[in-house]
Structure 1
Amino acid sequence: MSSEAQIKAFAEKYNIKNTSLIKTGAFVNGEWIHPGNETFAVEDPATGEKLLDVINTPIDVIEQSIKDAKVAFDKFKKESTGRSRGVLLKKLFDLMTENAEDLARLVTIENGKALADSRGEVKYGASFFEWFAEEAPRSYGDNIPSTDLAKRIITYKQPVGVVGILTPWNFPTAMITRKLGAAVAAGCTSVIKPATETPLSALAVAALIEQAGFPKGVVNILPVDQERTKKVGTLFCESPLIKKISFTGSTGVGKLLMTQSASTLKKLSFELGGNAPLIIFDDAKLDVAIVGTIASKLRQSGQTCVCANRVYVQSGIYDEFSKLLVEEVKKLKQGNGLDEGVTHGPLIHDRAVEKVQSHIKDAVGKGAKILTGGKVNTELGPLFHELTVLGDVPKTAVVNKDETFGPLVPLIKFETEEEVIELANDTEYGLASYFFTEDYRRIFRVGEALNSGMVGANAGAITEAALPFGGVGWSGFGREGSKYGLDDYTVIKSVVIGGL
């Protein structure tokens, strides 16, 4: 664990005004604890420098935190109302808003994304606390007519219980708030394991939870290193006290967690991998399509689950679109996310860089042409990969099937609407899809034909708190945000009243 002096020096170096947000312990049952001597280092992906040492929470402490969360749940469900839970969430929204710049800087420091993106993430993340503060009092049941005149059927939505939350590194703040907001609004308590790469943002949220006055045990945040992560996942899945798992991450890990949860028959919601198609039709407005393609494909250097992975361009505009896209991509600026004017930061680790390189090598080997980029930008650092556009990418290239999760834009030519829908749907994944057209009939036709949980029509950025976020197929199940967001954290109880 880092000392107070180290934390103070960290805050001064990175211009963090509110030093109380910088935590390196575990938040368990309303207290900050630092058990044992095991820690792991958090590094800046832009520089490779060690930032701070964070506690590697011992398994026995995590087991106790689950028990504490169960005790807290039994009390929370009886003593809180939807309105009172909404008040807590609104306080948390206000605190996040007040501390937005510090929270954004923490995201950039440990994740690497450009500060503008981090500011957007914090605003987006806070919006879920505001949204679910408003949804919390409105978890309605029903009065259902019975076929028996002497009976009445009433339903209630009740909280499912203790929730185990497992979050990724690419949105270290928002992936917690999107899940936690719904859990608290429903009346659940939570044990949260943040990503090993980005625990500081999660612990900053915990600091605000403490300040907002949440009851002890309602939220527990437990940082662990990469090796212990697997053990915690198994523990969450097999614990009979945890009644639901919410996970965002890879499809492979999602399948494993689902298998491990079988013995306890938990409620599950998974937001997993993607292979999103983005389609540019001949009749699209090119300026809108260019902006949308960059927003969808290159946001956070391509490291989001809803990033377009395959860009299909109709033959009539293929040459012009390719030329304009390359011109715009060349205007973007890579560098340290804290530096002025930087639009794109580094990738998270060397495995991400290697995957981008392997996809480029495969596509070029099969006939694709590098239109811009194509290499690791070693002048900036080993984790900076040039923003890359490939032309004439064949349909046999690996990128058609495998999610790159990096700054690679593969342009694939198509002729007809029927052809491109077949290509777009030729995947087990179905998180997001995008297309650009000025034909309003096509908007409905293609929007309904694409096999994904979310579709952006003439929009490259689609996420907000009002959106039911989630996929189909190997991209998972369940919906986060929106008016449906509470459903995955509740169970429906029916009460039949007779003798009337």
Structure 2
Amino acid sequence: MTTENTVTDTRLSSIAANGRLYINGSWQEAADGGRIDVLNPATGQAIATVASGTTADIDAAVSAARTAFESGAWSLLSGRERSRVLARASAIMREREDELALAESLDVGKPITFAHVVDVATAADQYEYVAAMAQQLDGSVRETPLAAHAFTRREPLGVVAAITPFNFPLILSSSKIAAALAAGNTVVHKPATDTPLTALIMADILTEAGLPRGVFNVVTGPGGLLGDHLVGHPGISKVAFTGSTEVGAHVAALAGQKLRPVTAELGGNAANILFADANLDKAIGTVISAFVFNSGQFCMGGPRLLVERPIYETVLEILAQAVPGVPLGDPLDPQTVIGPMASRKQLDKVASHVEAARSAGGRIITGGEPLELNRGYFYKPTVIADLPNDAAAVQEEIFGPVLTVQPFDTEAEAIHLANSTEYGLASGVQTSSISRAHRVSAALDAGIVWVNAWGMLDPAVPFGGVKSSGWGREYGPESLDSYTRTKSVIIAIDAEDQA
């Protein structure tokens, strides 16, 4: 892509605007000098250029991370010392909240209000949480009949490859990087090609917080080329990936060739089950927020609504009235709830799915078409009813503001429909019955289930997928487990040794 006429958005910080790679503690251009445009999806216009890294740059970043790890400058620090650095990083993130939120909003098309209260706040909370957890990475003494003292140690793995997607650049990078650093690892971060800006700002923040040279490195550029080279690099010890199921399977296969462990949070297509006994006013608000949040580009969103038949048509009527009123438009307007798709590619994908659903006999309750606004990539929030369960719009991840609605007659049928796709990242249950809440949530094939809510997340609570939605967990103590290895030490003791 040519960048000859690119005008950098003057609202961006110098770090994001300059867009250089961060390798071994220094800012540098790509090895071949290449650059790519970063577009604002609300206007389709370039807001910055960033270095288009090469495989040579990946080699340099991995080498820097490996050297830093083996030096012990970070890996051999006590958990308490690492904790202080990560806590400082969290504090600096809060001080630089406006800068991070603006970059995320311009880069992703994310409504600025959510960029503040969700993205920056959540990422800062994660660094704060793992800062505390870093002090608790203890082994344990094991009681055995051996004439020996047996104990375990939890040790960092080495160099972690963190590969992150376009929809939540800041949150989904912090969930990997913060945990990896807390455990004493070093990191090479490959952010999404389209949304790299906050990754560069975080490199500056972590350096300001006191992270030693080479411990954190960022290489921007084309995902397929750089991602494959990074995953297959012999200097990598673990891969942490979030993205589509298709790409995740490819990443896992590459890593498997070198027997590298992988955690993968992949695609989702969650069902939200609405029972007739639910508080309907509250439930409708939950249903809408579950499918329009982040313009539907949320792997744990709720794009499938299952409604108990006695209230099916009533729910459709309410949605037809309520959904068009959700504020859609300029992400920098504090009142905006729905922004654009993150790219033209995503917009076209959503439009294609909706047209296929229409052709399959789906009843368009509301929406069903793009919105022409400032040459941006906007799509009207869309509700589709009456599709069969095997329709592509029901079975596949659309990743846009589209809700399919299906009726059910029994609790067993609702559970069957909810579990009938290949995905298992999240699910929801809307009911006033506590016994039903426990019973249904236990039966759902999902890594996280929300009851009478949606999207509630906290750094202390793990999330992740089952089936084709991946494996491993992020957040909580479980996330740090995946960035350490357990070493057993057995020290033989006999009378002569103790004399």
Q: TM-score range by the shorter chain?
A: over 0.9
> In structure 2, what is the equivalent of residue 264 of structure 1?
258
SS in 1 for 2:49: strand
**Closer/same/farther in 2, CA of residues 432 and 293 from structure 1, 3 Å limit:** same
Q: What's the CA shift for 1:408?
A: 0.7
Kept in 2, the 8 Å contact 1:164–1:190? The answer is yes
Kept in 2, the 8 Å contact 1:108–1:115? The answer is yes
Alignment match of 2:110 (pick from 110, 113, 136): 113
> In structure 2, what is the equivalent of residue 367 of structure 1?
361
Query: Residue 19 of structure 2 aligns to which amino acid in structure 1?
Result: T
Structure 2: gaps of 5 or more residues = 495-499
Structure 1: gaps of 5 or more residues = none
Kept in 1, the 8 Å contact 2:295–2:338? The answer is yes
Kept in 1, the 8 Å contact 2:290–2:303? The answer is no
Q: What's the CA shift for 1:231?
A: 2.4
What are the superposed Cα offsets for residues 299-336 of structure 1, whole Å, 9 maximum, x if unpaired?
01100110112110111111222222232212212112
SS in 1 for 2:192: coil
Kept in 2, the 8 Å contact 1:22–1:204? The answer is no
> In structure 1, what is the equivalent of residue 50 of structure 2?
54
Within 5 A, what are the aligned runs for 1:380-459?
380-381=374-375, 383-459=377-453
Q: What's the CA shift for 1:368?
A: 2.3
**Closer/same/farther in 2, CA of residues 102 and 143 from structure 1, 3 Å limit:** same
What are the superposed Cα offsets for residues 353-388 of structure 1, whole Å, 9 maximum, x if unpaired?
232223222333333211111111124535111111
SS in 1 for 2:375: coil
Kept in 2, the 8 Å contact 1:23–1:207? The answer is no
SS in 2 for 1:342: coil
SS in 2 for 1:290: helix
Query: Residue 10 of structure 1 aligns to which amino acid in structure 2?
Result: D
SS in 2 for 1:474: helix
Kept in 2, the 8 Å contact 1:430–1:471? The answer is yes
Matched residues, number? 489
What are the superposed Cα offsets for residues 126-171 of structure 1, whole Å, 9 maximum, x if unpaired?
11100100100101211111133x1232011100110001000101
SS in 2 for 1:441: helix
Kept in 2, the 8 Å contact 1:310–1:399? The answer is no
Alignment match of 2:20 (pick from 6, 15, 25): 25
CA distance in 2, matches of 1:279, 1:248: 26
Runs (4 or more) in structure 1 with deviation over 6 Å come to: none
SS in 2 for 1:76: coil
Identity of aligned residues (%): 35
> In structure 1, what is the equivalent of residue 188 of structure 2?
191
Kept in 1, the 8 Å contact 2:53–2:226? The answer is no
**Closer/same/farther in 2, CA of residues 319 and 235 from structure 1, 3 Å limit:** same
Kept in 2, the 8 Å contact 1:271–1:470? The answer is yes
> In structure 2, what is the equivalent of residue 232 of structure 1?
226
CA distance in 2, matches of 1:483, 1:221: 26
Farther-moved stretch of structure 1 (384-393 vs 231-240):
231-240
**Closer/same/farther in 2, CA of residues 41 and 78 from structure 1, 3 Å limit:** closer
* 1:89 counterpart = 2:86: yes
Within 5 A, what are the aligned runs for 1:77-156?
77=74, 79-119=76-116, 120-148=118-146, 150-156=147-153
Alignment match of 1:494 (pick from 473, 488, 492): 488
> In structure 2, what is the equivalent of residue 70 of structure 1?
66
Q: What's the CA shift for 1:392?
A: 2.5
Kept in 2, the 8 Å contact 1:26–1:34? The answer is yes
Q: What's the CA shift for 1:78?
A: 5.2
Q: What's the CA shift for 1:77?
A: 5.0
SS in 2 for 1:389: strand
Query: Residue 414 of structure 1 aligns to which amino acid in structure 2?
Result: F
CA distance in 2, matches of 1:240, 1:346: 39
CA distance in 2, matches of 1:242, 1:175: 20
SS in 2 for 1:333: coil
Kept in 2, the 8 Å contact 1:243–1:267? The answer is yes
SS in 2 for 1:168: coil
Alignment match of 1:464 (pick from 458, 461, 477): 458
**Closer/same/farther in 2, CA of residues 393 and 19 from structure 1, 3 Å limit:** same
Q: What's the CA shift for 1:22?
A: 4.1
> In structure 2, what is the equivalent of residue 273 of structure 1?
267
Q: What's the CA shift for 1:2?
A: 13
SS in 2 for 1:361: helix
Q: What's the CA shift for 1:416?
A: 0.6
CA distance in 2, matches of 1:153, 1:79: 22
Alignment match of 1:474 (pick from 440, 450, 468): 468
Within 5 A, what are the aligned runs for 1:177-188?
177-188=174-185
Kept in 2, the 8 Å contact 1:237–1:264? The answer is no
Q: What's the CA shift for 1:497?
A: 1.8
Query: Residue 124 of structure 2 aligns to which amino acid in structure 1?
Result: A
* 1:158 counterpart = 2:160: no
Kept in 2, the 8 Å contact 1:76–1:187? The answer is no
CA distance in 2, matches of 1:196, 1:379: 24
Query: Residue 325 of structure 1 aligns to which amino acid in structure 2?
Result: L
Q: What's the CA shift for 1:34?
A: 1.5
Q: What's the CA shift for 1:61?
A: 2.2
* 1:378 counterpart = 2:372: yes
CA distance in 1, matches of 2:35, 2:14: 20
Query: TM-score under structure 2 normalisation?
Result: 0.94
**Closer/same/farther in 2, CA of residues 50 and 494 from structure 1, 3 Å limit:** same
Query: Residue 24 of structure 2 aligns to which amino acid in structure 1?
Result: N
Within 5 A, what are the aligned runs for 1:349-368?
349-368=343-362
CA distance in 1, matches of 2:493, 2:76: 31
Kept in 2, the 8 Å contact 1:23–1:203? The answer is no
Query: Residue 194 of structure 1 aligns to which amino acid in structure 2?
Result: P
What are the superposed Cα offsets for residues 432-477 of structure 1, whole Å, 9 maximum, x if unpaired?
1111011111111001000011111111122221120111111111
Q: What's the CA shift for 1:340?
A: 4.0
* 1:38 counterpart = 2:38: no
What are the superposed Cα offsets for residues 404-449 of structure 1, whole Å, 9 maximum, x if unpaired?
1001111111111000111111122111111101111111100100
SS in 2 for 1:485: helix
SS in 2 for 1:252: helix
Within 5 A, what are the aligned runs for 1:190-229?
190-225=187-222, 229=223
> In structure 1, what is the equivalent of residue 497 of structure 2?
none
Query: Residue 140 of structure 1 aligns to which amino acid in structure 2?
Result: D
CA distance in 2, matches of 1:105, 1:425: 38
**Closer/same/farther in 2, CA of residues 122 and 72 from structure 1, 3 Å limit:** same
Q: What's the CA shift for 1:58?
A: 2.5
